[in-house]
Structure 1
Amino acid sequence: MVDTAVSQYLETLRDYIRWGSSEFSRAGLFFGHGTDNPLDEARLLVMHAVALPFDSPDSLLDARLTPVEREGILELFRRRIQERLPAAYLIGEAWFAGLPFAVDERVLVPRSPIAELIEQSFHPWLDEDPEWILDLCTGSGCIGIACAYAFEDAVVDLVDISTDALAVARENIRRHELEERVFAIESDVFSGLNGKCYDLIVSNPPYVDARDLAEMPEEYRREPAIGLASGDDGLDLTRQILREAANHLNPGGQLVVEVGNSWVALEEAFPELAFTWLDFERGGHGVFVLSREQLVEADLL
C-alpha cells in the first residue's frame, strides 16, 4: 500500500525515484517488461508522470514537483504495486528496436530478442532485401512495423487471431504512418492469407508451456493468456507454423520463430529439422532460423 502522506517528505524527482524504488523492492515486484530493476522502473513512471523522457538529463532530477505531479506519481506507484501491472501498461507505451509503440492489456509488452535481428537486417540470413514480410502472431505489431523500417520497400502483413490485438496493431500502423505498406489481417495462423507467399516470415507466437505458465510472476498474468499459452509443452502453435510455413514462403525465403524455453522440447519433437539457434548480444534465447528449402526437405506434412 502506497502511503500518500509520504509526499510531505518528498520534494524532487530524485526523491520520488529513490522512494519508489525502495517501495517496489519491499513489495517484491517482478521486472521483465522493459526494465530489469526497481530503480529504472521507478524512474520510468516518475518521468512519464511529469511528461519528460526517461533519459532526461540527471540535472533535472533535483527539480521540485507540484502537488498535482506528486499525486500523479503516487497513483502510478499505487497501481504498480497493488495491481502488479507492468509499467508499460500504466504509461501506455513500450519501446522495441528503438521505436515507440502503443500498448495496453490487449497485447503482450514487446520484449523479443528478435529486435536485434531486425536492427541487423537479418544478416546473414537474407541474401537480398525482402519485398514481402509476414509478422505472424503480431500482437502490437512491433516486429512487423520495425521490419518495415528496416526494409523501406517491403510490404508487411501483420497477422493475429485476436481482434483486440489487431486494434492495437492498427493504432501503431497509424502512429508510424505506414498505412500504405503495412496491413493488419485477422487470421488463425495462415488460414486467412489465401495462399499468399513471403520472402520472410517472422513470428513470436505463444510458446509458454503449462508448467511455466503456472509458475510465472503475477505481472505476466496481466498480459493476455492467448499471447502466452500454447499447450502442455508450449509448442501447439509452433507445430502448425512449421508444418504450413513452406507453403507461404517464396524460394529462398526464411522463417524466424521465437520459442523461448520451449526450444529443447521443439528439437525433440522435430529431430528431422536442423534448427539454427541464434545468439544475442543483449540477451535472449530460443530463436531459430529455417529456410523454405529445409522445411520442404523435412516434409513435415
Structure 2
Amino acid sequence: MAKALKKPAKKATPRKAAVPKIGAGELQTVLDYVRYAVSRFQQAGLVFAHGTTDSVAEAAFLISEALHLHPDQFESFATARVTATEGKTILDLIVARVTTRKPAAYLVNKVYMRGLPFYVDERVIVPRSFIGELLDSHFRGAESEGTSLIDDPLTVESALDLCTGSGCLAILASRHFPNATIEAVDISKDALAVAARNVADYGLDEQITLHRGDLFAPLSSRRYDLIISNPPYVDAEGMAALPPECRAEPALAFDGGADGLTIIHRILEQARDHLTAEGGLLCEVGRDRPQIEAAYPDLPLLWLDTEDSEGEVFWIAAPDLR
C-alpha cells in the first residue's frame, strides 16, 4: 500500500483551510516557497501518509514536481529564483492541497518509490509500501544489505504480486528478478488500468502480466517462487477514523474487515497452494502483528524491519505454511 498507513488514534478534524494571498515578489527562491507551503500546511493541520512524513517533505515534493525536478535535484536548486509563471503553479498546488485535502500525489499524478516515478490518480491507492525497501535489503543474495532470504535473485523464475494496485511492487520486483515471469492481481478494474499504464511506461508488458480477480482466483493452479502482497488491512475502527487525505483514496484498498485480517487470513490459507517448494510469502500487514500472532501462534513468521517500520511485514517459507 511509499509508506504504510498508520491507524490514527482518533478521527482527524481539519482546520479552516484559509490560504492568504501573496503579493508579487514576496516569494522569490525555491526555499521561500517551501517555507510558505510548510506554514500553510501546518496551519491547515494536514495529514501526511502518502510517501512523505511531514510538512517539509511534502512541500519539497510538490514544489519539485511543479518545477519538473527530480527529488534528488532539490538541494541543488534550493536557492534558485522562481519565475512568475512557476510561482503561480506552485501557489495553485499549495491552495489545492490545503482546500481539497487530497494527497499530494493525486495533485501531480506522481509518486516515487525507491527513487522511481510512478503514475497515480484517484482510481488507485497512493502506494507507500515497505516491501520495496525489503526487496533491496533482503532479496539480493550475496549483495543484500542484511540477511538475504534467497540465495540468488537470478534463480527466481516466477513471482506474484497480490493486490497490486498501481503495479509499483510488481515493477520493482522485475528489477530485482530479471529472469522472473511476474504476474500481478487486483480486484479493481480501475486500479489495473493505472497498473497497465505504469507497466507500459517501464516497457515491461512482456515480463509482467496483469489479472483482474479476487486474490488467487484468476491464477488457476500456477505456482510461484515468490509471492508479495500489500493487502487491505485496516480494521473497522481505523476505517472510521481515516483522515480526509485517506478518504480521498479507494476504500476498497484499505478495508480489511472488522479486525483488519479478512484478506490476510485468505492469503495465509491459500498461499501454500501457489508457492513452489522453495518459495516464500512476503506480506505487509501494518499494525496487525499482535492479532496475526494470536491467530497463528504456530506459524514461524519472520518479522522484518525497515528504516521507518518495525514488524509490519512478515516472511514465511512455503514449507512452513500449514
Q: TM-score, normalised by structure 1?
A: 0.93
3-state SS of paired residue (2:78): helix
Please tell me the residue identity of whatever aligns with 1:27: A
**Deviation digits for residues 213-259 of structure 1 (CA, Å, limit 9, x no counterpart):** 22232211111111111101001111111111111111111011111
Q: Unaligned stretches of 5+ in structure 2?
A: 1-17, 140-146
Q: Deviations 1:10-60 (Å, cap 9, x if unpaired)?
A: 222221111111111111111121211212211211221122222325453
The structure with higher relative contact order (CA 8 Å, sep 6+) is 2
Tell me the CA shift for residue 284 of structure 1: 4.7
Equivalent residue in structure 1 for 2:208, among 173, 182, 197: 182
Report how far residue 8 of structure 1 moved: 4.6
Residue 305 of structure 2: SS of its match in structure 1? Answer: coil
Please tell me whether the aligned partners of residues 163 and 187 of structure 2 are also in contact (alpha carbons under 8 angstroms). Answer: yes
Q: Structure 1 CA distance, aligned partners of 2:271 and 2:76? A: 52
Higher mean C-alpha deviation, range 205-214 or range 65-74:
65-74
Aligned to 2:298: 272
- The residue that corresponds to 1:212 in the other structure is 238
1:160 aligns with 2:177: no
1:145 to 145, 168, 171: 171
- Residue 190 of structure 1 deviates from its aligned partner by 0.5
Task: Write the distance in 2 (CA, Å) between the matches of 1:289 and 1:59.
Answer: 39
Matched, 1:37 2:29: no
Moved more, 144-153 or 37-46: 37-46
Q: Would you say the 8 A contact 2:64–2:74 is kept in 1?
A: no
Going from structure 1 to structure 2, the CA distance change for 1:281 and 1:41 (only over 3 Å counts) comes to: closer
CA contact (8 A) 1:113 1:285 kept: no
Alignment check: 8 A CA contact 2:31 2:79 kept: yes
- C-alpha contact 2:60 2:74 (8 A) present in aligned 1: no
Amino acid at match of 1:106: R
Corresponding residue number in structure 2 for 1:68: 85
For the residues of structure 2 that align with 1:269 and 1:7, how far apart are their CA atoms?
Answer: 61
Q: Is the 8 A contact 2:304 2:310 kept in 1?
A: no
Q: How much identity, in percent, do the aligned residues show?
A: 43
Instruction: Tell me which residue corresponds to 1:248.
Output: 274
Given candidates 123, 146, 170, the residue that maps to 2:196 is 170
1:6-155 to structure 2, matched below 5 A, reads 6-56=23-73, 58=75, 60-120=77-137, 122=139, 124-128=148-152, 129-155=155-181
Q: 1:104 to 1:285 in 2, by over 3 A?
A: farther
C-alpha distance in structure 1 between counterparts of 2:31 and 2:162, whole Å: 42
Whole-angstrom distance in 1 between the partners of 2:191 and 2:271: 22
Distance in 2 (CA, whole Å) between partners of 1:41 and 1:57 is 13
RMSD of aligned Cα (Å) = 1.6
- The C-alpha deviation readout for 1:155-183, integer Å capped at 9, x for no partner, is 11111000111011111111111111111
CA distance, structure 2, for counterparts of residue 227 and residue 260 of structure 1: 13
Task: Give 1:171's aligned amino acid.
Answer: R
Instruction: Tell me, in whole angstroms, the C-alpha distance in 2 between the residues paired with 1:171 and 1:237.
Output: 26
Deviation at 1:121, TM superposition (A): 5.2
Aligned residue type for 2:193: A
Q: Which stretch of the first structure deviates more once superposed, 277-286 or 236-245?
A: 277-286
- Residues 54-77 of structure 1 deviation map (CA, whole Å, 9 limit, x = unaligned): 232545333333332222111111
Gaps of 5+ in 1: none
